[in-house]
Amino acid sequence: MHLRPGLSVLWRGPGESQVGVDPRCAVVLDGLTPGDQRVVEHLTRGPTPADLQRVGRAVGVEPERVRELVARLKAAGVLDTRPTRSSWSLAVPDTEESYWSRLRDDGDGAAVLAVRASKRVAVVGLDRVGSFLATFLAMGGVGTLLLDDVSAVTEADLGVFQARDVGGRRATRAVTHLRAAFPRLRTSAPAGTRPDLVVTVSTAVADPLRLRHLRRAAIAHLPVVVGEVAVVVGPLVVPGRGPCTRCLDLHRVDADPAWPALAAQLLTSAPTGTPATLAQLGAALAAHQVLAALDDRTVTVTGATLEVTALDPVPLVRQWAPHPACGCDAPSAPATDPAAATTTPDQAAATTAATTDPAAVGPTSADGEEDGDGEPARADALAPAGSGGRA
């Protein structure tokens, strides 16, 4: 048995000890003898019941009293009597697993990691923001990352990428770095495998054609747009439920009839580069929302966007409603869960290129033919495709 990972046992005064500090997981025990306090402190070492009884005898605490203390801590939700389990990757458990063990009602942080390890997330666009995002998802325990970007690494991308990567293809170099850091991370999938979620990272404006392909294929997706000043995350689009990115564009047209002309020009605009702190802030926000979706937790960017700049670390939340001219949330549209999307045979055939091994699919040219150079698939190939208390 052991206390939930990361929880400290603190002495508050004679006869009173506290487990944890944060009100969401802390508990105070009173009416304790000095021996009781020693027994509680020993629980940080993960003793067996027999070990704990030996400690109790050594400090004058009767066996029944030891069992009573254990029962109080277990009822308070801070004691885990299950055998210690390690998560799927040695790079993950001490941080992710222990954190979620402190927050889950059942204390089973390993269950969170087990679900994430079964998921497939595609990241399309691996500039400075996208490469940090992919790294954060790997650190968070996502089991399969399908990376897509044939652009060359530039000096503006450095962060995850190193100076020796400049000139190499982003997806290829990103896969190399991630596999070195996370040996059990999968970066390919069998032909026809659908990602649970696709994150698109774009400059200035999201590509409406790519996002339309994802909507038609009923694949959940999260757009991330790196603008001149801000990084905008969202909304999370689950086909059959609004609003979608087309809704946002229609709202922008309502506000500014010139928006279509502006957006068309922005599609071909050159990247401006992103300051290091902003790149990591934007990537962290996006990764947080992806993991929330995979964990089936509340997702802030459902019907909303998060906008962050280098001027303020607190993101601006913008709420968006479905646009009446879009119809993305019409009752006839299939409501699709991000982790269990289905599609018709024709749609499945259209998305095959998106979900095959990135290292085995040649990039797609403008006319849809493969270059056949063995580099990772291009983005356009992916597109069709408790409060605290007392115990």
User: Can you give the residue ranges of every domain in the chain?
Assistant: 2-80, 118-382
What is the maximum alpha-carbon separation in the chain? 81
Q: What is the pLDDT of residue 84?
A: 56
DSSP string, 318-374: EE-PPPTTT-TT-TTSPP--TTS----HHHHHHTGGGSS-TTTSPPB-TTS-B--S-
Residue 199: CB partners within 8 Å, gap ≥ 6?
121, 122, 123, 124, 130, 133, 221, 222, 223, 224, 286, 290
- Mapped onto helix, strand or coil, the DSSP state of residue 159 is coil
- Mapped onto helix, strand or coil, the DSSP state of residue 140 is coil
Q: What is the pLDDT of residue 390?
A: 62
Taking the C-alpha atoms of residue 222 and residue 390, their distance in angstroms, rounded to an integer, is: 42
6: left (phi over 0), alpha (psi -120 to 50) or beta: left
- Whole-prediction pTM value? 0.75
Q: What are the structure tokens assigned to 48, written together?
A: 């067996």
Average pLDDT across each block of 10 residues of the chain; the chain has 391 residues. List them in order: 84 92 89 92 86 90 92 86 54 71 80 92 96 96 95 94 96 96 92 92 91 90 94 91 88 93 87 91 97 94 94 92 81 38 33 34 32 37 46 67
Do the Cβ atoms of 113 and 88 come closer than 8 Å? yes
- Mapped onto helix, strand or coil, the DSSP state of residue 186 is strand
CATH code of the region 118-382: 3.40.50.720
